[in-house]
């Protein structure tokens, strides 16, 4: 796994950012919170370890919520258009969870797993090569390992 420079922006272009770090996994979450947050069938998360975040333009607002696992999560978004950009677990300061749809090269990455499939829309078809979890996995080690085997 190597360090990458990831650039992107919010929907309106007010916030432009650069994240430098080591991408360690990407997955889709089908929980109700992610469905509501993304206004879609699921949310995507690209985890980047040992990251440095630089805002090139704009500023971000943060909303903190408590997860189903009773962990506080900071949710960063554009104050103008509301696009969600990053999530950070308050207890896990070495990893940022990026919203990969905001990346300039969003099509460069694909998820290796799907969590909270017990809440997934029934019409959704999942790639047979993806890891599947009914709820939140106990650890994300299996998805991190699967990601490390990919050339991304």
Q: Of 95, 89, 87, 104, which Cα lies nearest the Cα of 37?
A: 87
Give the pair of three-digit tokens for residue 85: 């950009």
List strand residue ranges (DSSP E) for the chain, in order. Answer: 4-9, 16-29, 43-57, 61-66, 72-77, 84-89, 95-98, 113-115, 131-132
Give the pair of three-digit tokens for residue 52: 């440095």
Best-predicted range by mean pLDDT among 82-86, 107-111, 122-126? 82-86
Query: Which residue range(s) make up the domain with 44?
Result: 4-148
Q: Is 92 helix (H, G, I), strand (E, B) or coil?
A: coil
What is d(CA 87, CA 18) in angstroms, rounded to the nearest whole number? 15
Residue pair 83/10 in contact (Cβ under 8 Å)? The answer is yes
CATH of the domain at 115: 2.170.150.70
**What number is the average pLDDT over the span 4-31?**
95
- Span 35-73, pLDDT tens digits: 788 888 888 999 999 999 999 999 999 999 988 778 899
User: pTM higher than 0.85 for the full model?
Assistant: yes
Give the pair of three-digit tokens for residue 132: 């599947």
Whether residue 152 has pLDDT greater than 80? no
Q: How many domains does the chain have?
A: 1
Q: What is the mean pLDDT of the chain?
A: 92
């Amino acid at each position: 796994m190597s360090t990458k420079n990831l650039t992107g922006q919010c929907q309106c272009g007010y916030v432009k950012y650069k994240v430098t770090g080591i991408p360690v996994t990407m997955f889709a979450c089908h929980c109700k919170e992610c469905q509501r947050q993304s206004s879609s069938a699921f949310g995507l998360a690209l985890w980047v370890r040992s990251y440095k975040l630089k805002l090139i333009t704009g500023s971000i607002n943060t909303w903190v919520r408590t997860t189903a696992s009773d962990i506080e999560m900071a949710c960063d978004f554009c104050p103008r258009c509301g696009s969600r950009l990053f999530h950070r677990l308050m207890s896990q300061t070495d990893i940022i969870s990026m919203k990969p749809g905001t990346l300039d090269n969003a099509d460069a990455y694909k998820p290796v797993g799907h969590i909270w499939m017990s809440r997934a829309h029934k019409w959704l078809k999942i790639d047979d090569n993806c890891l599947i979890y009914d709820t939140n996995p106990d650890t994300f080690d299996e998805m991190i390992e699967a990601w490390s085997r990919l050339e991304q």
